[in-house]
Amino acid sequence: MARLLYTLLIYLCLPLILLRLLWRGRRAPAYRRRWGERFGFVARLDASRQVIWLHSVSVGETIAAAPLARRLQTQYPEATVLVTTMTPTGSAQVGKLFGASVEHCYAPYDMPDAIARFLNRVQPAILVIMETELWPNLIHACHRRSIPVVLANARLSAKSAAGYAKVAQLARPMLAQLAVVGAQTKADGERFLQLGVVREALTVTGNIKFDLQLDESLRQQAAALKTQWQGANGRPVWLVASTHRGEDEVILDAFSRVLAHHPDTLLVLVPRHPERFDEVAGHCSEAGYTFRRRSERQGNGARAITAETQIVLGDTMGELLSFCGASDITFVGGSLVAVGGHNLIEPAAWGVPVLSGPHLFNFTEVARLLSEAGGLALCATARELAEQVVNLLADAECYRQMSSAALAVTEANRGALDRLTALLASQISQPPGRGASRH
């Protein structure tokens, strides 16, 4: 009954859902395209090949899923790996990471007819969902068709668990239908059990984001970028990644304080969402800073980044990981406001000191590990943030210790990918080996 009421509500809200797509499309035109996919009208896949469906919501989850997708491609070379997302930025990230080596489309909305249409056309052998993208009708439909659903790299904050508990009649049957849950931490696992996950389905695998691989090509990109940004005098580079509305003003205030001590510092400011690029550019201009957009690449008449450039506005997609490697210090946004934080592991994997605001409920365990090791410092105000940056730039030994600690945490917590792959192997039957490669 609870799922029926939920389904009715979804259909009643459909006009609002479409209006929201149109509204978002005003600033991000990609939201106005490929609507058919969101209703299950996707291209049919080769029926002779096993389909492994991997779902990641947007950019962050797609980057986290990349090592898993590549492992699946290697382990099941005769299978088709389908990666679905919900956002255009996630779609773009799939193309950037995999090119044509995987299939991609948007995942269907959680409406029975859209899901049935999608499953009939795709016929997946398994569905692997990254982190916490749980949809009752989707999971129910897969369960009825004997398609195992695996929740990979699963996390569930206390806040989210409380939300699910309020709709227990809907959430408990859904969670009980999951074939496997690979939880990031023991605490995540316990919360899943309390909400209805079958104990035999649960394994604590760790966080696969620690298995991030920084290949030589990426390292070269980051080194070239750092050389460009530092200039002839080796100016310090402070990256502020994935900011949300309400954070940029704090960052710009902190930056003014940093400049009072280190006037040649370059701030690289990267808003989380593309539709905010112009808004943040306006903040930089209003504050009187000299800034350049990253999209204004050198050459073709674009203005070069000079010693007078104070801010680089990161208004491109898919470059944040290389930005981390090109920075001296990284602040991770979504943490000065109650968003819950973003990926702290990416800068840590480069051996870069990590700063964050206090709101980290989506990354509680990662934050704990980094804080206890000394690789992460929390800052609640512009003054605290500026003090941390100034201190790190002035104290070489403090910088070295924090950098080493951040890197050591990432190295010590690898291995989740192997454990998760082993779990998936118990759910994926070997592909039949028919059909030629699609790509």
Tokens 């929390």 correspond to: 378
Structure tokens that stand for 413 in this block? 């917590």
**61 carries an active-site annotation:** yes
Give the CA angle between residues 368, 371, 377 to the nearest 5°.
130
User: What is the C-alpha to C-alpha distance for residues 37 and 114, in angstroms, rounded to an integer?
Assistant: 9
User: What is the C-alpha to C-alpha distance for residues 254 and 123, in angstroms, rounded to an integer?
Assistant: 52
With beta carbons less than 8 A apart as the criterion, state whether 360 and 155 touch: no
Tokens 């997708």 correspond to: 69
Active-site position among 61, 131, 247, 346: 61
Structure tokens that stand for 397 in this block? 């030994």
Dihedral of alpha carbons 201, 204, 210, 211, sign: negative
Q: Where in the sequence numbering do the catalytic residues fall?
A: 61
